[in-house]
Every structure is written in C-alpha cells, then in structure tokens.
Homo-oligomer: A and B are copies of this chain.
Amino acid sequence: MQEDRRLAVLRAIVEDYVATEEPVGSKALVERHHLNVSPATIRNDMAALEDEGYLHQPHTSAGRVPTDKGYRLFVDRLSTVKPTSSAERRAIAGFLEGAVDLDDVVHRSVRLLAQLTRQVAVVQYPTLSRSTVRHIEVVALTPTRLLLVLILSSGRVEQRLVELDADIGDDELGALRSRINLAATGEVIADAAAALDALVRGDEATPAATPPTAAVVETLVEAMSDHRSDERVVVGGTANLARFGDSFETSVRPLLEALEEQVVLLKLLGEATSGGAVTVRIGAEGPYENLASTSVVATGYGPDDALAALGIVGPTRMDYPGTMAAVRAVARYVSRILDES
C-alpha cells in the first residue's frame, strides 16, 4: 500500500531531520532506512507529501524538511512514546529524592527536565486555586498583632500579618483559631474562602463575628484569592538555546523574550493542565508570534494532573518521542513526591 509507505517516508524524514539538522534527500533516505524502493519512488512520495503540506523544501534542489503540519501528523500518528529506561527512571528518582521543600522540588524538576531533554524547561508552581487548606494557624505576636499562617495541601505556606484595634485575649484567640479551622480545613481554596466569608457575615443561627474575627477573615480571604502566587513559573536550561543552530535573531531572541513573560508561559502551560496526557503545541499553532518556530511539550502534575503543569520549550525540530517520555516521567515523579510529603 503506497499510502503506508508515504507515512513511513514522513516518519523517516522527521527522524533524520531531527538527527542531522539538515534537509533530507531521497537518496540518503533509502540508504539509512531500509525502504525497499528506489530513490525515484521516494521522490514521488515526497512530492505528494509536499503537495499535502507535510513537507517543505527550502529551495529547489534541496532536500525536504517537515512542516508544522508534518510534525503534527508525526506526533499524532507516527510516533510511539519511548518507554523511559530504568536507568533514566533511577536518575529521575535519585535527583528528586533529596528535595526538602516545595521550592526545592520545583527547582530540581526544572534542572532535571532541562538536563534530560536538553531543552529549556518550565515548571509552574502548584496553583493556589487547586489546593486544599491543610491548616490555618493564628499566632499573637503581640496582643494587637496577629500572624496568620496558611498551610496548603500543595506544601505552600502563605503568611500574613493582621493589626487589631484592641487587645485580644488567649481565650478569644483560641476560639477564633478553632472556628476558622473548622470552617476552612480540608476545603478547596475557593470553598474555604466562601466558608470563612459566611462565618463573618453570620446568619440567624449564629451571632455576627467579633471585630478581630472579621479582620482575620478578611486578610485570609484576601490571601486566598490572591492569585499572584499562581503566576509563578520557574525556567531553566536556557543554555540549551545555544544549540539552536539556525539564526539567533529570528529564533532565540523572541524565545528569550517569551520566557520572560510569565503570563505567556502560564497560558502555554495552562493548556496542558487538562486531560492528563502530554500535550504538544507545534510551531505556529498557537497565537504567540514569538514562539512560531518552537514547540511546547507539557503536561499537568499533581493529583489528577490538575495541580499545575510542567514542560519544555524547544525548536520544532526536536525529538518528540523522547521529549514527551521525559516530560511525562518527570511529571509522574513530581506528582508522587508531592503526594508523599
């Protein structure tokens, strides 16, 4: 069936181009892959593939290069995700094992991903909005100054100071602490905020809250709805950009600019948080002009893969199977580590 062979040709071209970084010609193809046909046949196939938009030739009398559409087909139908070798798995586990806190996990993950894929790695901090409240502590630093410590399931800790108008006694403080925890502990952020809000508004059954409670709750709700912390992303492995053989100005510069824009990164990663599978965005598929010549491979991590996302950014000409495997493997290990702690 010649349709099958055409796909095999596309696959071979992608593989060779990724390996050699040079346009691949018909002759080289038949030599390197044991397609049992002549170069002329391959040329016909390549011409057809080009008509359909999967290939592109930089100029007449040059070999072919996959287009974004070609890579897309390759990723969707022609590639099998490489299983991670046991050596790799051990490396990942060893690398992440020593992490002591959330910051450390995130930073190690970035380095690890960058190292494994030899690309620029991006890891998003666990989002506030998906976390649940593990515990809220209220500490009186002075009789009028309270320290609020908000501990989340993701391991994140937020703290806030509250100034009171009047002194607060130990009893009142204890009552406040337990009321708040009763309402919020175990809840998803949004629900916790709502519950706390209800607490302070009061209703027929319960009396309106005392001024200290009101002040504390206000601050807590603010901290919870404060999504700045959602916007934190760590980038690593930028040195790998040096391997961008082709033009520095047209590829690397815009990419560096995009990497500085946390908002862009978050949107990219955001697209990947759903579904649980590894997401691949190829070339100009997205609306980001700066990333027109790059691909993003990302996936969610954490419970249900919905806590946050991580991935890599690299040239469209990349080893998709290997990269996808690495991203998936790291995400799994990170999920596991976060689950344990």
Contacts and interface: CB of A to CB of B under 8 A. Distances in A.
Interface stretch (A58-66, A246-254, A317-325, A331-339): A246-254
A167 to B, nearest CB: 18
Given A139-B135, A238-B259, A241-B256, A151 B157 contact: no
Contact of A159 (B157, B252, B256): B157
A285 B129 CA distance: 49
A226 B141 CA distance: 25
Interface string A210-237: 0000000000000000101000100011
Total copies of this chain within the assembly: 2
Contact of A253 (B226, B232, B242, B260): B242
A104 interface: yes
A256 B228 contact: no
Contacts of A253: 239, 242
- Chain A: number of interface residues, binned into ranges: 20 to 34
A182 interface: no
Interface string A257-268: 101100000000
A137 B139 contact: yes
Given A135-B141, A228-B100, A236 B256 contact: no
A141 B341 CA distance: 14
A242 B249 contact: yes
A303 B15 CA distance: 57
Nearest to A161: B341
Nearest to A260: B239
Contacts of A165: none
A232 B100 CA distance: 14
A262 to B, nearest CB: 9
Contacts of A236: 260
Contacts of A237: 260
A147 B155 CA distance: 12
A8 interface: no
A147 B151 contact: yes
Nearest to A253: B242
Contacts of A249: 242
Nearest to A104: B228
25 contacts: A100-B226, A103-B232, A104-B228, A134-B141, A135-B147, A137-B137, A137-B147, A137-B149, A139-B149, A147-B151, A149-B149, A149-B159, A151-B159, A157-B157, A157-B159, A237-B260, A238-B256, A239-B253, A239-B256, A239-B259, A239-B260, A242-B248, A242-B249, A242-B252, A248-B252
